[in-house]
Amino acid sequence: MKKILYILAVLMVIFSIKAEAIEEIEQGATLSINDCIELAIKNSPEIEIYKQNVIVNDARVGQSKASYFPTVGASVGYDFANTDNKYVSTHSNNTTARVALNQLIYSFGKVLSKVKMQKFYKIAAQYDLDNAILSTSNNVKSAYYGVLAAKANVDIQKANVYVNERQYDRTKAFYEEGLVSKIDLVNEEVYLSDAKIGLVNAENLYEQAILQLNSAMYITDAPEYQIENTETFNFKNNYAEVNLINIANTTTNEDGTVNPQSAVLTTQVEKTDILENYKFEPYPYTMKQSVEIAYKNRPDLHSMLATQDAVKEALNYTKRSLLPDLTGSVGYNWNNNTHYNTNGVTMGAYLSTNNLNLMDTKLKIKENKAQLEIAKKNVELVKQSIYFQVQTAYVNMVQLEKNIPLMQTKVKQTLENYELADARYEVGLGNFIELQDAKENYNKAQMDYVQTIYKYNVALTNLQTAMGEK
């Protein structure tokens, strides 16, 4: 019976999804992370199924309470009899009508156990819904941070192309003045081509990240939209202009070497920070505290506990099925036949059992006891699973938490090294390979920094989900 009701609920959801238009994203909209989560919760067929399952279990609670209400029965009949033999010939017509009202007076706890059992199943269904919402929220957050990371990498690659274009212009100018060799110019062209390829790849990864976010929100054919930065993932994409001045104005040293000292950068594009006003605060809870919070919040654990209580009431119901029911009845009878008419009111109270089978009941009790033990073990399994989920997520989060300040330092160090290499190359003291290595190291440090921030946000999200926080 439960399977049939579940299938019907699924079919209702599918038809309702087809009938109702899913809310789509408006063209050019800017969505926050909470907007995306709300869209996912509204559009998710899985969540809608769990909502319908709550309704199903609520109806079952009402059905179990129906035994407290009286039942009404009515009947109407007509009989005709005709007898012929050698001694006598008779016939008769008989019309009857009856209406009765039956009321359960006392069930010795059977109905109460049934009502409690269905209430616990309803509570479990509500927690299952909460767990589905929690899982959906986690998927959206992870995809959201993936888009932010991809967007930051696109901006890094744009800046890298911008820098390589300016360096190519400078190297070309130096080459035309005879200050650098042909190989430097050719290498600069190669680096510029690589930078453009890197930008194309980054843009492709951004599109893929958007598709993953759309999938997490259960939205197809989404128009172009933007997403907002979060407090723990806030980056800027404005880049400083770079101007090369007096590129042909050089001086000659006493030893005959040419010094292009007046060919300088008026601003430095390399100093753009990917993350602006990044708010990093160490996680406030210990792992033990995180586990305790998880035990208190996790909906799947509460669902298992409610299911355990429901199975316990099912066992009580089976045991009490050996006890009788005390019922009362009041009715009115009317009878009209060929010889006489009768009518009257009947009242009574009855103590009865319905088709009691001791062997069947004994085996059902044995089955319910085994199911109760299974439910208890399931609770233990969920608790152990929660503990290790929180532990794993906590360790990952703490490790990335430690990496963030180290990555910040690395970005500053590679920037300083790049600035020094750039200044040395301008005045002819450094070589091209040294400059390019410094630039590539700085570019990679920025991308690694963004990736660390992304992994940290995902790890923090996983930890919060493991703790049951939406």
Identify the residue with better confidence: 328 or 280: 328
Q: What average pLDDT does the segment 189-207 reach? A: 90
> Which tokens sit at 92?
């008769």
25-34, 253-262, 334-343, 376-385: range with lowest mean pLDDT: 253-262
Q: Kindly state whether residues 17 and 125 are assigned to the same domain.
A: yes
- Place 22 in a pLDDT band, splitting at 50, 70 and 90: very low
> Which tokens sit at 414?
């590679």
The model's pLDDT over 390-401, given as tens digits with 9 standing for 90+, comes to 999 999 999 888
Q: Kindly state whether residues 138 and 286 are assigned to the same domain.
A: yes
Quote the percentage of the chain above a pLDDT of 90.
36
What value does the mean pLDDT of the chain take? 81
Quote the percentage of the chain above a pLDDT of 70.
81
> Which tokens sit at 64?
């179990």
Q: Kindly state whether residues 143 and 28 are assigned to the same domain.
A: yes
pLDDT at 40 over 50: yes
Q: What average pLDDT does the segment 248-254 reach? A: 45
The model's pLDDT over 425-444, given as tens digits with 9 standing for 90+, comes to 776 777 777 888 888 888 88
Range of the domain at 448: 2-69+107-321+356-466
Q: Kindly state whether residues 98 and 115 are assigned to the same domain.
A: no
300 and 389 in contact (C-beta within 8 Å)? no
pLDDT number for residue 254: 57
Return the C-alpha torsion angle 388, 393, 398, 401, nearest 10: 180
pLDDT number for residue 416: 81
Of 334, 355, 376, the last residue of a domain is 355
422 and 435 in contact (C-beta within 8 Å)? yes
4-18, 66-80, 405-419: range with lowest mean pLDDT: 4-18
pLDDT at 122 over 60: yes
Q: Kindly state whether residues 27 and 75 are assigned to the same domain.
A: no
CATH code of residue 343: 2.20.200
Contacting residues for 412 by C-beta, under 8 A, at least 6 apart: none
- Place 57 in a pLDDT band, splitting at 50, 70 and 90: very high
Q: What average pLDDT does the segment 293-319 reach? A: 94
pLDDT at 66 over 80: yes
Q: Kindly state whether residues 254 and 215 are assigned to the same domain.
A: yes
- Place 85 in a pLDDT band, splitting at 50, 70 and 90: low
Q: Kindly state whether residues 351 and 387 are assigned to the same domain.
A: no
CATH code of residue 27: 1.20.1600.10
Q: What average pLDDT does the segment 245-273 reach? A: 39
Identify the residue with better confidence: 250 or 148: 148
Q: Kindly state whether residues 458 and 382 are assigned to the same domain.
A: yes
- Place 236 in a pLDDT band, splitting at 50, 70 and 90: low
- Place 248 in a pLDDT band, splitting at 50, 70 and 90: very low
User: Structurally, how many domains does the chain consist of?
Assistant: 2
pLDDT number for residue 311: 95
Q: What average pLDDT does the segment 251-257 reach? A: 50
Q: Kindly state whether residues 294 and 394 are assigned to the same domain.
A: yes
Q: What average pLDDT does the segment 343-352 reach? A: 84
Q: What are phi and psi of 217, to 5 degrees?
A: -95, 0
Q: Kindly state whether residues 331 and 196 are assigned to the same domain.
A: no
pLDDT at 162 over 90: no
Stretch (H or E) spanning 97: strand 89-106
Q: In Å, how far from its chain's centre is CA 10?
A: 20
pLDDT at 97 over 90: no
- Place 258 in a pLDDT band, splitting at 50, 70 and 90: very low
Determine the Cα–Cα distance for residues 66 and 100; give it in Å rounded to an integer.
Answer: 18
240 and 268 in contact (C-beta within 8 Å)? yes
Identify the residue with better confidence: 463 or 275: 463
pLDDT number for residue 277: 52
Q: Kindly state whether residues 120 and 209 are assigned to the same domain.
A: yes
Q: Kindly state whether residues 455 and 335 are assigned to the same domain.
A: no
